[in-house]
Amino acid sequence: MNGMKRLFPALLLCGSLAAQTRVWIDADTANEIDDLYAITRMLAAPELDIVALSSAQWSKSPAAEGNTLEASQRLNEALLGLTGRMSIPHPRGSAVGVYWWGADRAAYSAAAYHLIRAAHATPAGQKLTVISLGALTNIASALMIDPSIAPKMRLYWLGAFIDTERGVWDKSEFNCLNDIPALNEALNRSDLEMRVMPASVARALTFDYGSTAAGLEKHGRLGQFLLDRWKQHSPGSSTWIMWDLAAAEWLLKPELVKWKKLRTPPENTQREVDVAVSIDAAAMRADFWRAMDRLSQQEPARPPQP
């Protein structure tokens, strides 16, 4: 733990020599396995200045039990603690989706207001990069409360099934269905720059359990935490689709993603958004493990156990 605390600030120091990208991460972390791997990859990136890690709800899932927002919040805080990054703000999002009718539809939360402040704090001529790995509840709510932040943000989002050849959107996907009105709010904001990693494209990025377990073995408590999440959430699964990691890799390694501009769905404000059409899954896997290996190389040697 102490070694990991020294490790991540060292990575940040290396990254401070060059301009860092200000990034807000919003994640429904307790939903599956891959959120934690995506967040870890971003925490290990010295080129990112992570201004917040907020929790997102996934309450409409058939697998939801209890307060999904709090489950995500606990995992976010555990991961920040393990990596010595508790200084990163970690505001709670809304436990419910945005309201689908009425004069005031926003789902008010600490995350929504923190995002508004972070967007306004962005230097002139720059944009706050927001990456959402789940339902867009918190981002849409911030936009509803203060529409002026839309042009101050660049949104990466993992979700939807998209036929990228024909430009046909299918919203019957997990992140969509957990808050359709929030998704529509984001799509309808013509002044919001948006980059979509469709689930139908991200599904190409898979990890197998055997090599993942072997790769994480040398990463101490953090590695065990990531592996335990796999074993607890999906015991016996030999492979897993790392959906969210694909979105994170687009942010970190844009050369690994082919994308094009597509029109929004016909029911939304007509505009163009950037949509991933294919990914280099092998290169993304290699990049993740290189990042993990860098962590291992910089972590001080542990004394032998008695």
pLDDT tens, residue by residue, 163-205: 999 999 999 999 999 999 999 999 999 999 999 999 999 999 9
- Give 294's pLDDT tier (boundaries 50, 70, 90): confident
pLDDT score, position 6: 42
CA dist., res. 234 & res. 66, Å (int): 19
**Residues 298, 7: contact at Cβ < 8 Å?**
yes
The class level of CATH for 2-298 reads: alpha beta
What ranges do the domains of the chain cover? 2-298
Q: Does the pLDDT value for residue 301 go beyond 50?
A: no
Q: Does the pLDDT value for residue 211 go beyond 90?
A: yes
pLDDT score, position 298: 52
CA dist., res. 69 & res. 208, Å (int): 28
Pairing of β 21-27 and β 257-263: unpaired
User: How many other CB atoms sit within 10 Å of the CB of residue 134?
Assistant: 29
User: How many other CB atoms sit within 10 Å of the CB of residue 269?
Assistant: 11
Q: What is the pTM of this model?
A: 0.90
Radius of gyration for the alpha carbons in the chain, expressed in angstroms and rounded: 19
**Taking residues 58-78, what's their average pLDDT?**
89
Q: Does the pLDDT value for residue 296 go beyond 50?
A: yes
CA dist., res. 199 & res. 177, Å (int): 13
Q: Name the one residue in this structure whose structure tokens are 């490790």.
A: 7
Contacts of 227 (CB under 8 A, 6+ apart): 212, 213, 216
pLDDT digits (tens, 9 = 90+) for 82-130: 999 999 999 999 999 999 898 899 999 999 999 999 999 999 999 999 9
pLDDT digits (tens, 9 = 90+) for 243-269: 999 999 999 999 999 999 999 999 999
